[in-house]
Amino acid sequence: MREQLEAIRNRAMAQLGDDASAEQIENVRVAVLGRGGELTAIMRGMREVPAEERPAIGQLVNEIKRELESRIEALQERQQRARMERALAEQRLDVTLPGTRIGRGRSHPLTQVAEEMIGLFEAMGFEAVATQDIDDDFHNFSALNFPPDHPAREMQDTFFLPGGLLLRTHTSNGQIHVMQRRQPPLAVICPGNCYRRDELSVRASPMFSQIEGFMVDRTGIVTMAHLKGVLSEFLRGLFGAATRVRFRASFFPFTEPSAEVDISCVLCGGGGCRVCKHSGWVEILGSGMIHPNVLRAVGYDPAEYQGFAFGVGIERTALLKLGVDDMRLFFENDLRFLEQF
């Protein structure tokens, strides 16, 4: 019995040489270790072995079994490694070829700039409210202290619509709508599109966008000093902490006092260049303390309430921020322009 086992072992080991093929290995496994294999048969015939030899034979069978199994495993592992190495040697990509392109769109530069601006105001506690593009004379002009036929109306050439309506010339109509609906304290911005009768050109567009903002509270709470604080903070947030801000007296029918706001030139930093027409300053927005007539128009008592308001053009801000000099780029939608954002 012992000899028979040794013979099985020797034969099998001989067949499991280093160059044994996968098929040979499998044949050996089936012939020796398989269900109907030689070792299995011997284990099954163990009853016929004298009882005193059984432990030793059993041990030997297990020993041979383990030896063959580990030999097979080693051979298979070696072969698998060889196959993998062959494959690795063959499988070579030109990693410099382009990948499968899953498109990713770009948001419009005006969206990006507007969102940044809105975000800054929201961070300062302003609430963004959407208002309408089509409006009436009252909300776009009269309530904002533009009397009929007043020359100030000509600063903003209006598109008129049937039914006595018009396309808003500024987002300031939002001020009126919100104040009519709510009571102070208010801190609101109204972003949106506006329309003026200008041909599309380097500097103008018949449709453009603005952010109107205003803050109203009891007399003495929201002053011109707060207007300066909020707008300076906003402009430094948008254009960088080193930006200098200048308030110049001006005129808007709906504010009194009125101020235009300049920032130190984004290109030259104030030294003087083409962008700032060598003045060192560029105009960025209009602002002021809400005119008492505007407060009256929405039913607030100007002796009780006061506040500030401002309007900032998104296109103009975007031109300055992005360092481009042609308004048409925003509305032509040339992909070669848009894909840079």
Minimum CB separation of residue 137 from other proteins in Å reads 13
**CA–CA distance, 167 with 177 (Å, rounded to integer):** 15
Part in contact with other proteins (CB under 8 A); list of ranges 2-10, 44-52, 56-64, 285-293 = 285-293
Part in contact with other proteins (CB under 8 A); list of ranges 14-22, 28-36, 78-86, 242-250 = 242-250
Smallest Cα–Cα separation from 255: which of 198, 220, 293, 299? Answer: 293
Minimum CB separation of residue 313 from other proteins in Å reads 14
**CA–CA distance, 74 with 322 (Å, rounded to integer):** 66
Part in contact with other proteins (CB under 8 A); list of ranges 4-12, 49-57, 58-66, 158-166 = 158-166
The reply on whether position 207 binds other proteins by CB under 8 A is yes
C-alpha to C-alpha distances, 98 to 137, 230, 336, nearest whole angstrom? 57, 48, 20
Question: Which of residues 1 and 124 has its CB atom nearest to other proteins in the complex?
Answer: 124
- Give the residue, chosen from 35, 47, 104, 181, that forms a contact with other proteins under the rule CB under 8 A: 104
The reply on whether position 340 binds other proteins by CB under 8 A is no
C-alpha to C-alpha distances, 270 to 38, 225, 243, 282, nearest whole angstrom? 97, 24, 9, 9
Binding mask 244-273 for other proteins (x = CB under 8 A): --xxxxxx----xxxxx-------------
Minimum CB separation of residue 274 from other proteins in Å reads 16
Q: Is 280 helix (H, G, I), strand (E, B) or coil?
A: coil
- Give the residue, chosen from 54, 66, 150, 203, that forms a contact with other proteins under the rule CB under 8 A: 150
Smallest Cα–Cα separation from 127: which of 138, 115, 139, 119? Answer: 119
Q: Does the N-terminal peptide bond of residue 257 adopt cis geometry, omega within 30 degrees of 0?
A: yes
Q: Is 276 helix (H, G, I), strand (E, B) or coil?
A: coil
Question: Which of residues 29 and 226 has its CB atom nearest to other proteins in the complex?
Answer: 226
Tell me how far the alpha carbon of residue 287 is from its chain's centroid.
Answer: 31
**CA–CA distance, 26 with 321 (Å, rounded to integer):** 73
Within 16-75, the residues that bind other proteins by CB under 8 A are: none
Number of residues that bind other proteins (CB under 8 A): 89
Question: Which of residues 34 and 257 has its CB atom nearest to other proteins in the complex?
Answer: 257
Structure tokens at 8: 């099985």
- Give the residue, chosen from 58, 237, 272, 292, that forms a contact with other proteins under the rule CB under 8 A: 292
**CA–CA distance, 274 with 131 (Å, rounded to integer):** 37
**CA–CA distance, 33 with 340 (Å, rounded to integer):** 68
- Give the residue, chosen from 43, 155, 268, 324, that forms a contact with other proteins under the rule CB under 8 A: 155
Minimum CB separation of residue 228 from other proteins in Å reads 5
The reply on whether position 219 binds other proteins by CB under 8 A is yes
